[in-house]
Structure 1
Amino acid sequence: MRLPFRFLLAYCCACSAGSHAPAQGPRGATLELHFSAGGQPTVARVYIFDQDGRPLLIPGAIHYSRPGEVHSVVDRRAVMQLAPGKYRVRAEKGAEFRPAEKMATLEPGAATRLDMEIPRFHEMNQRGWYSGDLHIHRAPEEMPLLLRAEELNVGPTITRHLGMSREPPPPFPPTHLVPADQAHIASQQNQEVERLGRGHGAVVLLNTSSPIDPNMTVLYPLDLEYCRQARAEGGFVDAEKPIWKNVPVNVAFGAIDAIGIVNNHFHPNGVLLEAEKFGSMERDSPAYQTPAGFAQWMIDLYYSFLQCGFRIPVSAGSASGVMPVWPGFERVYVHLSGPFSYTRWFQDLKAGRSIATNGPLLEVYVEGQPP
């Protein structure tokens, strides 16, 4: 059972888990899985466990395996050859759906079909809210399917991850937008500068038109220079999280467009409390050392900027591809000023029309008006 730690902010409101495939005997069994939402075939994030509780990965699907998070992403249906026995199947589909779970008992030499309807309890797009995750480290070719699996409208993939002691970055992608369909759009011309330890921390540079020079030291150039370069090209600068040492400087110089209050330290099974060892600011209160306190630390830092007069929109990012989370576990919803487009989504995020969450859904209105 997953015990998620969840919290939500609104700008205007203030040891590895292994996976295996059971050994096949001479009379194996077949499990056929079909996934739907609203009565229509759909892409799903799928968890399968054998009778001993061990997670399995589905052949031919997108696989993701991190400590405490082992799943497959399946496009509508999948077939598995398994040993006879009992299996638990769980299907999920982002923040607007409830999980579906069933048990299957497989008999020797027999085929079992499992139909799983993933119930939707809310549809944010119909209310004008569109979702995104600003910190994704997944393979670009996976993104169209992942966006549909999580009902994530905007998914910038960080294709160049720069910093000290990193491998030479790949070539800058010639193509930026990669639509899965009209409502789910991935992008590729996105970069992260990350210098941990004695360095400045991290900053995410989205929608950039040229590559950042990878030649840098632990302190030079300042992240401020990379922020300015990205914004001069019409890019979007996300502060990633407020605990980095570069954030007060970048905020003071007006060099960021949003700040990741709901960030990659929050996982489905807990909170990554370590921060200072990565080069964050030092916590000035022991109360910030607990899971709830860590979230409060994010809030207090964010409000310290607001109280200084810096009106910075909230954002969210999962670091899926590094952390044990899927794209959109941390997500920011933007209330759009018109029909959905990738460009309008970022324009309205920059204007502060956002809420950030990793679970609860809240539509925010003040005197009847959205953010």
Structure 2
Amino acid sequence: MFTRRLTRTIALISLLALRLPADAADALVSVTGVILDATSGAPLPARLYLQRDDGKWFFAKSAATNGTAVRYEKFRSATVSEMHTTLSAHPFVAELPAGRYTAIVERGKEYFPLTNQFTIAPPPTTPGTPAAPAALRLPLRRWVDMSSRGWFSGDTHVHRAPAELPNVLLAEDVNVTHPMVHWTTVSTIAPAQSPQNMKGDFGDRPVSVDATHAWHPRNTEYEIFKVGAKPHTLGAVVIINHKTPFTQTALPLGPIARQARAEGALLDMEKHSWPWSFVILPVLGLDLFELSNNHIWRTEYAVRSFGVPAPPWMKLAGGGGETERDWVSYNLQTWYALLNCGFRLRPTASTGNGVHPVPLGFSRVYVNCPEGFSYDAWMKGLGEGRSFVTTGPMLLAKVPTLNVNPARGAKPTLRVTGETHSEQRLATLEILLNGEVVQRLTPANQPQPNGSFTSAFSADVEFTGSSWLAVRCFENRPGDRFRFAHTAPWWFEIEGRPLRPKREHVDWFVARTEEEIRRNTGVIPAEGLTEFQAALAAWKKIQASAQ
């Protein structure tokens, strides 16, 4: 049986020196390697980290004329950085001085990471004493195959150059992504005219990398930090899968919504803690909510105290962003409250890769495509909420038709069934009804021959009125880190018993909208302020039905 631990091998490698300076310790040695599927032996595209014991990073290149290697360097601090190379499925080469190294290889979420430690000795200096060439063989073991189950992953908000995507999508095994080709940060500059746009005309149709990987070139982010010349943060909204560039400025919002709807686009709140998030929700009629957003990284959690602080009813430390757990809880509790208010926001996931120190697809949304993959089928499933979001575990749940038995006066009930697949043991598995944990199940964590774990589950849930239901799970990692997965909600309507939000939740949304009206009066155009007031009217209507 394979061990589930990361594979560690230690090798002493004496390789052919490229040059022999007076100080042999500084000579560069050409280290070649190949990343393989451990079962089939086929070469794999993947992400490679190379770091010497003194902390210095090194980057590989492709050793094949038809191969590609894309270097990614985002440094925030000694403990917060992302330094890697994404490699095509070809041999690679790295030129390294003598020293002790750690190579880490990862490929998306469905393979075990591989850690390989090796030492490079200085090349011989005696004439006529050649070094024995050697190579790194780096086999990756798959622990789950989601595409064979009809599930395909996506990262719906990235900032990578389109030219890099054929390499990166395959190395990370992300099936769909949406680069922000158009991006404005000033309210008076339309995205189509923004100097921050990616240069080039990429068309308006999906671009296929291969049969199961594609990206769409028409995506826009309004991320407003200035109103005219005045520094004044409003927030962000992401529009994916549209057809023509947006020539409208950020305010008023109405024309943006109308174009997005006319072109079959989806509108994404981006982050829950932006100042204007609860204003734009009723005005734009947003579709998507990022359950895992671009502040969740592979490296150390670092973005604290971002945006509007969490309300007291969430019972979080500080402003709700002091720790990674609090940030995720703030995000989830906001989503639950918005669902209870009647906003049927479907979940998605993003990394902001290209800007942030995080691999593309570290957070990802899996969409069910039962008839096989196509970009259009994937987008349809995303819009319909046939999905789950994950930073690690795989969560497959089924909810049948609601069982109502009025003859016996029984409460409406349903049985939730499913299974999880995880690289490491799950800590918790929970069923939520209207945002409350109604059942906390003990994960079975059944060991599998490949070293992973599965947990089958089944539970009956009773209803008292119209409701939504979802499932989530958490997997603990060292250093108080964790990975999680969360399904989209299933909705159930019971005539005469509508879902009513909690008053303290709606009161906060109303207060936030009122604060934004005060903060923006005299700053944003009158048309925009009228829309803010319309948002307040929508929230007060919801407030009237709260309990």
Question: Which category of TM-score, normalised to the shorter sequence, fits these structures?
Answer: 0.7 to 0.9
Aligned 8 A contact 1:30 1:112 in 2: no
| 1:265 Cα deviation from its structure 2 partner | 0.9
| 1:254 Cα deviation from its structure 2 partner | 6.0
**Bigger radius of gyration among the two:** 2
Aligned-residue CA RMSD in angstroms? 2.4
Distance in 2 separating the partners of 1:248 and 1:44: 39
TM normalised by structure 2 equals 0.59
1:114 to 132, 136, 148: 136
What is the identity, as a one-letter code, of the residue corresponding to 1:162? T
- Aligned counterparts, 1:229-308, within 5 A: 229-253=259-283, 255-274=285-304, 276=306, 280-285=307-312, 287=317, 288-291=320-323, 292-308=325-341
Distance in 2 separating the partners of 1:80 and 1:289: 39
Equivalent residue number for residue 105 of structure 2: 91
What is the identity, as a one-letter code, of the residue corresponding to 2:309? E
- Aligned counterparts, 1:358-369, within 5 A: 358-366=391-399, 367-368=416-417
1:208 matches 2:229: no
Distance in 1 separating the partners of 2:118 and 2:357: 27
Distance in 1 separating the partners of 2:202 and 2:293: 26
SS of residue matched to 1:200: strand
Distance in 1 separating the partners of 2:208 and 2:36: 22
Cα deviations across residues 78-107 of structure 1 (Å, max 9, x unaligned)? Answer: 112322332221110011111112122224
Give percent identity, aligned residues only. Answer: 30
Alpha carbons of structure 1 residues 178 and 252: separation in structure 2 relative to 1, 3 Å: same
Alpha carbons of structure 1 residues 62 and 345: separation in structure 2 relative to 1, 3 Å: same
Structure 1 unpaired stretches of 5+:
1-22
Moved more, 29-38 or 324-333: 29-38
Aligned 8 A contact 2:305 2:322 in 1: no
Distance in 2 separating the partners of 1:46 and 1:122: 20
Equivalent residue number for residue 36 of structure 1: 36
SS of residue matched to 1:71: strand
What is the identity, as a one-letter code, of the residue corresponding to 1:361? M
1:152 to 160, 166, 174: 174
Structure 2 unpaired stretches of 5+:
1-17, 22-26, 63-68, 76-80, 124-130, 226-230, 400-415, 419-486, 489-547
| 1:212 Cα deviation from its structure 2 partner | 1.1
Equivalent residue number for residue 195 of structure 2: 167
2:74 to 28, 41, 66: 66
What is the identity, as a one-letter code, of the residue corresponding to 1:83? P
| 1:161 Cα deviation from its structure 2 partner | 1.0
Distance in 2 separating the partners of 1:97 and 1:172: 35
Distance in 2 separating the partners of 1:263 and 1:152: 16
Alpha carbons of structure 1 residues 245 and 104: separation in structure 2 relative to 1, 3 Å: same
Distance in 2 separating the partners of 1:152 and 1:183: 9
| 1:44 Cα deviation from its structure 2 partner | 1.0
Equivalent residue number for residue 139 of structure 1: 161
| 1:204 Cα deviation from its structure 2 partner | 1.1
1:101 matches 2:115: yes
Figure out how many residues of one structure are paired with residues of the other and give that number: 343
Distance in 2 separating the partners of 1:271 and 1:234: 35
| 1:236 Cα deviation from its structure 2 partner | 1.8
